[in-house]
Structures are given as structure tokens and as C-alpha cells.
Amino acid sequence: MRIGVDYYPEQWDKAMWEKDAETMARTGVKLIRIGEFAWSRIEPREGEFDFTWLDDVIGIFSAYAIGTILCTPTNCPPLWLYEKYPEIIQVGSDGVRIRTGIRGHRCINSPVFRTYAKRVTEQMIRHYSGKPAVAAWQIDNELEAYPCSCDVCKGKFRDWLLDKYNDLDGINKAFGNSVWSGEYSSITQIQPPTDYPQAWQNPALCLDWYRFRSDSAADFVRDTTLTIRLEDTKVPITTNAHLCRDNPDFYKLFDLLDFVSFDNYPPLNIPADPDEYYSHAFYLDLMRGIKDRNFCIMEQLSGPTGCWTPMSPAPRSGMIMGYALQAFVRGADTVLHFRWRTALTGAEMYWHGILDHSNTPNRRFLEFSDLCKKVAQLNILDNTYIVSDAAIIYSPEAEAAFRIQPQTEGFSYIKQLTAFHSALTKFGANIDVVPSNADLSRYKLVIAPSLHINKKESTENLYRYVINGGTLVLTARSGVKDEHNNCIMDTLPTVFKELIGADVAEYDPIGNGKRTIRDFAGNEYECSQWCDIMRLSTARAYAEYNDGEYRCMPSVTMNRYCNGVAYYVGTICRSDFYEDFVSNLMMQTGIPKLKGLPRGVEVTTRTNSRDEYICFFNNSEESAVIPLPKPMYSIISSIGKDKLELRPFEMDIVRK
Ligand code: GAL
């Protein structure tokens, strides 16, 4: 496990580099990441490459045993390139080319941009290939499924559609273009959706537009990876994912890459609503699940955030340490804090690093120094891994489809996933977050909320899982759409009807309206947003609506299917329902439960063939006491303990 920092040598006087390296080394920093925005220093004039300053930086840090993650600087082309080729700048959905002076505004599909990006990448990799100080490459920075509507993107999108559907007839059919005289009679009539009025866009067009944009990001990664690989066959390559409106399909983005990296900015305000608890841990599990192995945190929260928005509160005492350890125990093997020192200039001067503008040690720096020491103690966890009994399926296509059509007031695809994740977390379970085509055979419980877009491979995967004895949970809005994002002439949940032994007689998007359901044991829960009124064939009711016109009609069902069981939750409840439901499922499937964990305490269990380590993280603002069933040895404080007393954001790790 290693700690690093993001460093911007081009923003500081050269005279500071050595001092920074010396302080970092003394503190315990093992890695820096540099270069992602430094194209204008690397190629100050067209075709003139200058690596002397980068050589100096890498050399100085390497002399202090600090390795470098070097980035291709393609996120920010230099202004000379924009001036010469303004067509490489992205165009918004309104047809207006955005302005230079910000970042990430290049069109990654532009052939001119790609030529220059390839050349700078080739030059860098030729220069640095085989140099051991370069520990890894990061491609670009936070690539998105950019909504660029320039002529190149339009042309490529049209080709992408023709590739997929053969001809205009195929596209018209897939999109159902007979609606509103939308039939294309010439390829040039195909336009990317505009933001205005969003409500009137064809959802089939919108989903393919998302897929195309996501594929474009993956294609850029693929090309850059091949460019690097031609010169250096060994160095590991990654790119850094972040969470945004235009998330690409992470499974495709990282397909060719050696490891996953994530920019981790956990919330600085602890949610007041208990339904929101634990939701950040979900994203760490999601990142681990992309390649089903350890990942890197390329940017980790370090100080108050904000610049273009009002600033957030500073990380509370314990948060710098706690959030980094939380990432480590959930599968990160490297955490780099963003950033070593806060910028004095530029748009991000208030997005704070570890050190403030003053460059003098502060409270956060002291906590960070402690973190570096603590991490050295955790090497014992290096060869341990997470084994999970439960998995939650995440579908980038479902997420995109719900962004296009939000269904009902308050409905959130991700919130459904995090509701189940939180419920499992409350009982101390390890959870994997995996794609719908993952091998599910190792799980006792699989939860696949709102699989909205049907994919034969995923449907078969879920049937196979249940046939072989698995326990599966599906929820409302599953099976609604064909692969084109069009509705299906069948009762819901279409392809899953047989599996759940029931269908939806009627649905009611009640939005913020409130209803209640009552489970088989008589417990009542509030529900809202959506009501599927279930009609049972082989299934039994697990819960029924408890009021209004749907009273006594099934809302949650349970069906034995071959060797397994399939549940269907036809509504959306508050956290108490998911807690009780998951508790029952864990009992039935034999997943061990840790009862009585204080709210906010997260548990991750890591194992190797000999030992099991239980990591308790108090992700709350209250102190927590956790009695242990027997005395256990703490690898954090090197003593035996029969109970753990955790301050806010503190972690303790015991050997079972
Ligand atoms: C990240 C980005 C960094 C920096 C940081 C703080 O998303 O990769 O370059 O901008 O946010 O805003």
C-alpha cells in the first residue's frame, strides 16, 4: 500500500522542487503524478519538444525514492494548437463552439487533435520508455462521454449508426422513426440530440448517442494505449475515472488498461438523512468490481473543495486518514492525494491540497503525515483480498437510460443500488458491485435493481444464476426496454416474468405520493415513487400494499425457480424496508450478519489463506463502541482488544 500526491511542477518555481521532494520523502510519500495538463510546457511550439524540465523533476524525486506516474498531457492542448486548428474545440449541443481558456475542451474525435495527441504521446513514451522512475502512465484526465456535436462527431456518429444498423431503414426501424415524421431519408438528417427541449428527443437516438460518445472515449484510450505499448511493453497504463453526468461505460473504458484509477472525493458533509449513509463506499466497491481486482485512487480529497461553487467545509479531524484507509481496505492499493499544495493561481486556487497557499505545515498535513506512517503498518494486508457473498449489479446503460427518461419524481437508479448496498453494509457484509455479465456463481445473493435495457447475455446470466441455486432480487422498471431503448409489447417485466413467477398487472408512477406496504410478518413500510401492482402466477406475495386502492395487492414477490429463488420489489421504500428485507435474505442465504453495529460503522473483511482481518471504519461524526465477540489483536494499535472504541472517522483493524 502506497501513499502519493498529485503534483504540478509546472506551477511552481523550479527552486521548490527539491525542497518539496525532500519534505514528501520525509513524510512518507512514495509516488507523484504529474503532467496531465502540461502540454504547453512539453511542446511549447509545434514540433519542439522539451523534456529537460520533466527529466529534472523525475530525477529529483527519484533521488528521494519517489516514483512518478506520468500522464499523457492531452487533456489540455496548448493554445497554439487551438489557434491553428480551431476545429479541434468541442461544439455544444446548441451548435456553438466552446471557448478556449478552460480545460478538457478538445474534441477527442477530431483527427487533427488525434494526430497531435499521438505525436506528443509517442515523443514522451520514446523518451521515458524503460526508465524505472516512471512507475505507470495515466492517459489524459477524467475522460468523459463528451457531448460534442462538431461536424467530425456528427459524421462519426452517423458512421457508427450505419455500422450498427447497416442502412437508413435499419436505423429508422431501430429508432421507431415513424413517430412525428422522424424518418431519415438521407444520412445527413441524423443529428445529435439537443438539450432543448430535452423532453422531445427520441430516447432511442439519445441512448445510441450516449453509447457512441462512450465508445469514443474508449476508442481514444485504446489508441493511446496502443501508442504507448508500441514503445514500451511493460509499463502499466491506466486512466482516472471520475463521477459526472457524462460517465463513460467504465467497463469498456478500462477494458484494455492494466488497472483502474478513481478520483475519490467523499462527501465533506455527513448526510443528515440516514438513507444516504454509506453511499460513498458503494463507489469504491464499484471501482474494485470493474476489473475484479485492486485499483488506485489517483486523486483523493485533501482539503476544502470549491472554486466555481462556494467552498465546502474543511475535512473534519480524522477524515483525511479515515477516507484514505476506507479506500485501502475496499481495494485501493495506492492512494494519491489531490494535491500536494494548493494552487496560488488559476481556476482551482480554492480547491485545497494537503498544504495551504502558505506552504507551512497545517493540521491536514500532520494528519496526512500520520497516514503515511500508518499505511506502512498495513503491509500485512497487501496479500489479502475481499471475498463477498453478495453482489449488486451496476449497468451503465440502465443509468444512461434513466438519465434520458427519469421515470417519476424522486426516482434514481443509483439510489436504488445504494439503498441495497447500505442495507448490506449495515450488517457488515462485503459487497461486490459487478457488471451484468459477471460470473455470478460465487455469490449467495445477487441484487440487480432496475435492469431497464434488455440484453440477452445478461438475462441469460441471471436465469442461469437462479437455475443453479442462486437468490436474486429484481426491482421495478426491469425488463422494460428492448436494446434500442424502445418499449416492448408484453406485460412487465417481460423477459423476467417467468423467473419471478409474476407480472405487473398495472403500474402507477406515484412520484412523491406516499403509500405503505405490509410484509408477510406484518411490518409496515412507507413507499413512494413507483407502485407495480403484481399479479402472481407461481410466486407468493412477500409484501402487499397496505392502503388506498391497491390495498392487499402484492408489491413484493418471491418465487422458487428451479434450484433458486427470485424476488421482485415492485416499489421503492425508505431504508428501513431494505434493512429488514436484506436481513431476511442474508438469513435465508446463510450470509453472516454482524448485528448491532453502530450507525455509520462500515466493516470490510479481508482474507488470505491463513488469516482474516476485520476492518471497522467509523464513517460518522459520533464516537462508536463496538464490542468484539472475543478478544482480538489490533494491527493498528498492536494490542489485544475486547472492544473497539472509534473516534469519528477512525479505523481499527483486528485479526480474527
Ligand atoms: C478532479 C480533476 C483535477 C482537479 C480536481 C479538483 O476532478 O481531475 O484536475 O480539477 O478535480 O477540482
Amino acid sitting at position 464? R
pLDDT for the residue 274: 62
Confidence band (pLDDT; 50, 70, 90) for 333?
A: very high
pLDDT for the residue 196: 66
Let me know the angle formed at the C-alpha of 178 by 172 and 179, rounded to the nearest 5 degrees: 120
Look up 142 and say whether it is catalytic: yes
**Residue 52 pLDDT greater than 90, yes or no:** yes
Q: What average pLDDT score do residues 282-298 get?
A: 97
What does the alpha-carbon distance between residue 364 and residue 361 come to, in Å, rounded to a whole number? Answer: 8
Catalytic residue among 36, 43, 299, 348: 299
Let me know the angle formed at the C-alpha of 578 by 511 and 502, rounded to the nearest 5 degrees: 70
- 549-599 pLDDT, tens digit each: 999 999 999 999 999 999 999 999 999 999 999 999 999 999 999 988 998
- For ligand 1, atom 10, the nearest C-alpha belongs to 348
| Residues 6 or more apart in contact with residue 280 via CB below 8 angstroms | 266, 267, 326, 619
**Residue 345 pLDDT greater than 80, yes or no:** yes
Confidence band (pLDDT; 50, 70, 90) for 199?
A: low
Q: Where are the alpha helices (DSSP H) in 447-495?
A: 456-467
Catalytic residue among 142, 397, 579, 650: 142
- For ligand 1, atom 1, the nearest C-alpha belongs to 263
The CA 42 to ligand 1 mean position distance, Å, reads 21
Q: What is the mean pLDDT of the chain?
A: 95
The CA 104 to ligand 1 mean position distance, Å, reads 11
The CA 248 to ligand 1 mean position distance, Å, reads 17
Confidence band (pLDDT; 50, 70, 90) for 618?
A: very high
pLDDT for the residue 270: 77
**Residue 279 pLDDT greater than 80, yes or no:** no
Q: Are strands 639-646 and 471-475 parallel, antiparallel or unpaired?
A: unpaired
Write down how long the chain is: 656
What does the alpha-carbon distance between residue 574 and residue 171 come to, in Å, rounded to a whole number? Answer: 41
| Residues 6 or more apart in contact with residue 437 via CB below 8 angstroms | 457, 458, 461
For the chain, the 3-state helix, strand and coil shares in percent, each to the nearest 5, are 35, 25, 40
**Residue 254 pLDDT greater than 80, yes or no:** yes
240 CA closest ligand 1 atom index: 8
Residue 256 backbone phi and psi in degrees, to 5: -90, -10
Amino acid sitting at position 579? E
In the three-class reduction of DSSP (H, G, I as helix; E, B as strand; rest coil), residue 508 is classed as strand
**Residue 307 pLDDT greater than 90, yes or no:** no
- Cell numbers describing residue 481: 426496454
| Residues 6 or more apart in contact with residue 68 via CB below 8 angstroms | 31, 32, 33, 34, 57, 58, 61, 62, 133, 134, 135
| Other CB atoms within 10 Å distance of the CB of residue 13 | 7
User: pTM score > 0.85 for this model?
Assistant: yes
- 140-175 pLDDT, tens digit each: 999 999 999 999 999 999 999 999 999 999 999 999
Pocket of ligand 1 (CB under 6 A): 141-142, 242, 263, 299, 338, 348, 351
Angstrom distances, CA of residue 58 to CA of 38, 109, 121, 372, 489: 14, 31, 17, 21, 61
Among residues 95, 199, 106, 201, the alpha carbon closest in space to that of 154 is found at: 95
pLDDT for the residue 277: 67
Among residues 298, 171, 159, 136, the alpha carbon closest in space to that of 216 is found at: 159
The CA 338 to ligand 1 mean position distance, Å, reads 8
Q: Where are the alpha helices (DSSP H) in 511-641?
A: 575-589
Q: What average pLDDT score do residues 357-381 get?
A: 95
Let me know the angle formed at the C-alpha of 441 by 440 and 447, rounded to the nearest 5 degrees: 40
Minimum mean pLDDT among 58-62, 191-195, 561-565: which range? Answer: 191-195
What does the alpha-carbon distance between residue 456 and residue 435 come to, in Å, rounded to a whole number? Answer: 14
